[in-house]
Amino acid sequence: QVHLVQSGSEVKKPGASVKVSCRASGYTFSTYDIHWVRQAAGQGLEWMGWLNPNSANTGYARNFRGRVTLTRNSSISTAYMELSSLRSGDTAVYYCAVADFVNWGQGTQVTVSS
């Protein structure tokens, strides 16, 4: 079955960058677009962008354009989300999701603090 495993928690200083990984198993990696969603504590879900693992085409939400980069390494079935110029408002749990959002990773806590 589809399984997504994300990298562990991160603590970063304002202005730094963070790169979160999402390792997929249980299906052919090229089959599904990979989406990234974040959720600040006590807040709702915010869609960040998507990556087509075949073509590496991407699309980003307006709020993140210019700060987020989605990439993949198909040889190890892993997708990456890099967010730059971090600020306190980026403190959140970051999720990857595939198969039209049926399957989700466990989430990665990113904390931005000086």
Partner 1 sequence: DIQMTQSPSSLSASVGDRVTITCRASQTISRYLNWYQQKPGKAPKVLISAASNLQSGVPSRFSGSGSGTDFTLTISSLQPEDVATFYCQQTYSTPYSFGQGTKLEIK
Give me the residues that bind partner 1 (CB under 8 A), please.
35, 37, 44-47, 50, 59, 61-62, 95, 100-102, 104-107
Provide the minimum distance between the beta carbon of 44 and partner 1 in the complex, in angstroms, as a whole number. Answer: 5
Q: Helix, strand or coil for residue 85?
A: coil
Provide the minimum distance between the beta carbon of 58 and partner 1 in the complex, in angstroms, as a whole number. Answer: 11
Give the helix/strand (H/E) hosting 108.
strand 108-112
| Choice between 15 and 40, CB closer to partner 1 | 40
Position 77, amino acid? S
107 near 93, Cβ under 8 Å? yes
CA distances from 9 to 30, 90, 91, 109 (A): 27, 13, 11, 5
> 31 — phi, psi (to 5°)?
-70, -40
| Choice between 13 and 62, CB closer to partner 1 | 62
Provide the minimum distance between the beta carbon of 110 and partner 1 in the complex, in angstroms, as a whole number. Answer: 15
| Choice between 27 and 101, CB closer to partner 1 | 101
Provide the minimum distance between the beta carbon of 101 and partner 1 in the complex, in angstroms, as a whole number. Answer: 6
